[in-house]
Structure 1
Amino acid sequence: MTIDIEPTDTDFNVGYRRYRQNNTGFFARITDAWKDMPASTRRLIAERPSEARLLFFVLLSDLIFFLSFSIKTVVSPTSIAQSALPDDVALLLVVALMLRTGAIYAFSFILGLVLRAFGGTGTLKDTRAGVFWGSFVSAPFEVLAAILTVSMASMENTLPFLSGETLSLAPLWLGLLPYIWFVSAGATAAHGFKKFYPLFATLSLLCIVGMFWALYLRANGVI
């Protein structure tokens, strides 16, 4: 026996899911995004968020970014990560925090133009909604990466292989994959695409190329 629940005036459909208007708690929205980022993004766009609200998402993600990278690079860095970072790492973090917001705006603008060129139907504001929301909901994974860094740093004496360059630098990049995942899902949903995997694969490839390029420059003493 099945019971069909009729939608009420407080329900509305976005994508393949039905949400309730009163389910507006911050944590509920974040878990909704973790379960289905495209539908969560469409719900956000349907609410016509103000620019101030979108900026709020970015600023919150900036604070979490600052917290997680402070832990990974200042509080308890791995030995290789510590040697790879500049002496005045605190200044580097402050500069990165100041530039991050502008960089996300620029990235959102360029990504919006690219998606429009490939047949996307969203506006630049829709793109910002998807990218900024993705930046925020992926931020907790930065904290998990920071916790992993602390754990690895504390076990380097008993597990020497953790001090290897490739493995010890992994947590610095670990938080990047969830960011690419959620931003790709949010941006493509904002433009009406059904699949976000092509964008995710493209951005991941660009990040991998950039990472190896940075390692090459470091090995040759350029950076």
Structure 2
Amino acid sequence: MHRAVFDRCMEIMSEKLHQDMCDLILPGKPVADVAPALIEKNVPQYLRYACRYWVDHLDKLSGDQREEVGLNDDGKVYAFLAEKLLFWLETMSLIQETPTMILILNRLQGLINSTRNHLLAALVYDAQRFLLRYRWIIERAPLQIYCSALIFSPMRSRVRSLFEGLIPSWITKNSNPIEAVTFSPHNNAILASTSCDGTLRIVTTQD
């Protein structure tokens, strides 16, 4: 039973998860300001279950079964994380399950045979670091995953290398590293960033 449920959870998440699940558009939009009905509409109960419990069902399988269902470097778990990790983090933030994400990633790391599957183990480890480092902003404004969190991630980060293309196009790229970024306090429509060379950029986040 657990194998079938795990497989179905992976199918659901792979099909349904995408960037900006609730069409919030504004990256600084606090999750506290998002209408519960909007979240319920875009993150229905079956998707919530899949996001919350897929590792629970994976954990119930034997070691051989985990390998068979894709807990390895070229399996479905790695493929899912490499494509959908940030969308999963965003969705879990929307349903206020950020603390649970930490536990899920910790549990997943414990299931991986890191000797045989070092690529998967390294990706999960980097995902753990990413979440712990940017938890404060992720759980308050989910779309900041694609702005502040990715921007400030180390260039060598596996998460950044996989998802750098999701950084909004309106964020001007500069050869000098960005040191700080902030949104306007009233409507989150203006972003200001500073670089180590002293460059100050002020851009609008609305069309």
The TM-score range, normalised by the shorter chain, is under 0.3
Structure with the greater relative contact order (CA < 8 A, sep ≥ 6): 1 or 2?
Answer: 1
Higher strand share: 2
Q: Which has the higher helix share?
A: 1
- If the length of structure 2 is used for normalisation, what is the TM-score? 0.27
| TM-score in terms of structure 1 length | 0.26
